[in-house]
Structures are given as C-alpha cells and as structure tokens.
Amino acid sequence: MSPNLVGWLKRRVAGDTSTETVGIRGAGASSHADFGDPIDEQDLLFAVQREPVAYRVVFQVAHDIFDNFFKVEEVAEKPDPNFDKQVQIVLGKLNAKSVFTQMAVFERLLGWSIIVQGYVDHGVTLEAAVESPQEVRDIVAYGPLQFSVQSSDEDQKEESERFGLPVYYTLARTGISQAKVHFSRVIHFATRLLTHQYKGISVLQPVYDDLTVLRNIRWGMGQTMFRYGSGFPDVEVQGATKKTLDDLEESQQFKSLQARTYFLHSEKTKLEFKGIAGRALDPEHYYLPIMENISAGSGVPLAILRGAQAGELTGSEVNEREYFKLVSDAQSRYEPGIRALVDALIACGQVRTNVKDYKIVWLGGFEVSEKDKALVELSLAQAREKKQGWMTLDEIRGEQGLKELPDGAGKVVLGIKRAEQQPFSQSQNETEEKKIEENRNKPS
C-alpha cells in the first residue's frame, strides 16, 4: 500500500536537476521563481533540496516536533497507568513516530498532507467508507506530490458538515493505477490555512523571497572567492616591447598560471583596481538582515537557524525556549490528527480500555540548566514554608503526592502553633525597652 517515496521523489525531480546551468536564479531550471514571482511545488522542492536554511526550517523542525514523541494520559482523578502503555505498544507496531514525522515534513514543505489508515474492515475497496473496522493494520503518510483531490470529489451538499471538503482522495501509487480513498480512511493535516478550505501554505512561502536573495548572495560570495580569492599572476618583463609580450603569450609558457587569469605587461603598463580599494564588500552586513527576515518569517531563532548557540549561556537558553515554544505550538496543531488515530485504535479494540477522555502529553525537548533547577527548587521550598502559616503539614504534603504523617502529627498548622507559643502579655522587645528606660532614670 505504501510507495517507495524516496525513489518516487528522485524520479519526479530528476529532470529539474539534470539540466541545471550555472547562473543566478531563485529556483530550478524548469520554473524560474525569482523575487516576487508565484511559487509552485517544484520551487519548494528545489528550495528544500538546495537551501540549507530551508532544509533546517522544514526537516529539523519536523523531526524536533516528534523527536521525544508523546504519551496519552486519562483525564481522571486517578488516571489508568496502563492506558498509555497499551497505546504506545500499538503505535510502535504501526511505526507511528516515523509516519507522523514524514507527515510533518510533507505538511511543512507543501502545506498539507494526509495519513491513510489501512483498515481490516467490511469495506470492499479503499473507495468505500469504513465499515465495521476490526484493526488498523498500517498507516502511510502522503504529500501532495503523491495524492490529489479532484473538484468533483469534494462534498457538494451545502447542508453537509463536510461541504467543500474532500470526499475522496486520489493516490498516485507507484507502479499501480490511481486509487481513490474515502475520507473516513484518511487523517487530513493542514495547520496553516489561509486562502483555501483544506489546503494550507508552506512554511517556506513567507520566506521564499529572502531565500532567493540569500541564494544569490551565496552565489556571489562563491564567485568572488573563485575569481579573486587567491589573486592572479602579474607577469612583468623588463624592457619588453609589445611584440615581445605577444610572442611570450603565444608561446603558451604562462598557460598554467593560476588563478583563472593573468595580466602581461611592461614596466610602462599599470594595473589598478577601482571602486573599493581592491577589497570585496563585507557580506555580513547583507547576509545578516536576510537571515533575520527568515528567522522572523519562520519563527525559528537566528541562532538555531545558524546551527549553533552563539553568545552567553543565558542567551542560548532564551533561544532554546523560544524555539521549543514554536515546536510546542506545532505539536498542539497536530493533536487532532493524533487523537483521530488513537480513537480509531480504541474503536477497533486494539487498545482495550474503559477510558472516557484523555489528553496528549508531549515530552519536552528543552533542558533546564542545573542552576535554574536549583532556583526553582528554592522558590518551591520558600512557597511551602509560607503555606505553613495557614495549611496543615498533611495538606502541604498532599500537594506533593506524599502520605500523611502517622499518629496525626501532620494535622497541625505550624504557623498557628508558633503564634500560640508567643506570650501575649509582654513581648521581648517591650521588656528590653523597659530596662533601657529604668537605666535612664537612675541618678548618676
């Protein structure tokens, strides 16, 4: 049921890369999406295959979203600890982590994607609605390059809850004729809807123009280094005439001199570079604003885009927090699709449980430093100490999941007990003040 996606993609884009010529352009040889031009799927493919920043924004983020995966937790006073174990066993057999990650790559790059669930049910074909499902046997992620939705396959009934949404998806399956799949067998993902009801936009679309400029800057930097990075030979022949120089050039004795070119002249001929004192422009002043625009458009901090945590430790932690906030937001947007799969597993009886409601709990990727952990522990300890003024010890222990103290020792409020031990007639300060006053009144 699942095609060889890697081989299929390679064959699909082979024509674009094989005819490439040297030059400055924004996209592939067959579709020249320059600055401000419309973007199609082939342009997006070219960007993610050839632009390091685009690759990071699409692939790294997709992998970070599902890297630590998630657990499912019952919403109840005493959650069933076996619920997540059962779910994880079935998800592992379905290779769900890899499938969800591939889905995220397609969805981020091309704007939308689907996961087709291979049911064991009474439906005769994939085109039929799911009927009496007994098992979800496999799941496969598809991107828009492997499937499509024809306008005639959209729900045309205005009174329908799915009006305008796909009823059938057409799969372009490798080596087999096209197959239509009913929506009840599909989990649809599109987290950035804008101008279309069910097709989202690519994460690269807001930054594509900046990627184009960045590519041209990199091309120019490479050409500068190639042409002028090591200089060129300057051959001077004392007292030579033009004929002598011409004869020397025709002799080919300077043919192997590098790099790329040379200048042959007499002492009366002078070569001088005009413009910027013979030096190339500093690319950082032009490169940095483009990277900042890509960071703003993608939500990925600049330090993460560069692939290193630059600066002080605190600055790095701020970048990580900002990045994993982006990851957390993406995770929450994928949750409806995850719940659809878990619900299907429960409905098929592959997860046997009486759980009525549950939540998706993502395992965080951000690592808090030891210093910050210590500060958090200190703050919690100080807060618990203040609570002793109005809460019993057992109540405070209960907040931490600890058992009550034996023999009723935890039924006391320490703050009140301490106050009761203070004498109400006269404080220590009052006693000291009285002694000072008596000493002051003694005759000298």
Domain locations in the chain? 5-207+320-362, 375-431
Q: How confident is the model over 101-130, as a mean pLDDT?
A: 96
pTM of the model: 0.70
SS3 content of the chain, % helix, strand, coil (to 5): 45, 10, 40
- How do residues 286-297 score in pLDDT, each as one tens digit? 888 999 999 999
| 318 within 8 A of 372, measured Cβ to Cβ | no
Sequence-separated (6 or more) residues with CB below 8 Å from residue 200: 107, 111, 112, 190, 191, 192, 193, 194
Do you find a cis peptide bond into 259, omega within 30 degrees of 0?
A: yes
Inform me whether the pLDDT recorded for 182 exceeds 90.
Answer: yes
**Looking at residue 378, what is its pLDDT?**
79
**Looking at residue 280, what is its pLDDT?**
60
Cα–Cα distance measured from residue 97 to residue 363, given in angstroms and rounded to the nearest whole number? 13
- How do residues 367-412 score in pLDDT, each as one tens digit? 555 666 677 777 887 888 888 787 888 788 888 778 888 887 778 7
Closest to 303 in 3D by CA, of 293, 314, 316: 316
Residues pairing with 139 in the sheet: 117
**Looking at residue 11, what is its pLDDT?**
34
- How do residues 217-252 score in pLDDT, each as one tens digit? 888 888 777 666 665 666 777 778 888 888 878 877
**Looking at residue 401, what is its pLDDT?**
74
Cα–Cα distance measured from residue 218 to residue 54, given in angstroms and rounded to the nearest whole number? 14
End-to-end CA distance of the chain: 109
Closest to 293 in 3D by CA, of 206, 176, 381, 177: 206
What would you report as the CA-atom Rg of the chain, rounded to the nearest whole angstrom? 35
Inform me whether the pLDDT recorded for 425 exceeds 60.
Answer: no
Sequence-separated (6 or more) residues with CB below 8 Å from residue 69: 97, 363
Cα–Cα distance measured from residue 288 to residue 265, given in angstroms and rounded to the nearest whole number? 41
**Looking at residue 403, what is its pLDDT?**
82
Distances (CA, A) of 13 to 19, 45, 132: 11, 8, 41
Return mean pLDDT, the chain.
80
DSSP character at residue 166:
B
- How do residues 108-117 score in pLDDT, each as one tens digit? 999 999 999 9
**Looking at residue 350, what is its pLDDT?**
96
**Looking at residue 159, what is its pLDDT?**
95
Inform me whether the pLDDT recorded for 320 exceeds 90.
Answer: no
**Looking at residue 175, what is its pLDDT?**
62
For the chain, give the percent of residues with pLDDT over 90.
Answer: 46
Q: Dihedrals φ, ψ of 405, to 5°?
A: -70, 145
Inform me whether the pLDDT recorded for 312 exceeds 60.
Answer: no
**Residue 8 in 3-state DSSP?**
helix
Distances (CA, A) of 374 to 198, 381, 382, 402: 47, 11, 12, 21
Inform me whether the pLDDT recorded for 198 exceeds 50.
Answer: yes
- How do residues 133-178 score in pLDDT, each as one tens digit? 999 999 999 999 999 999 999 999 999 999 999 999 999 866 667 8
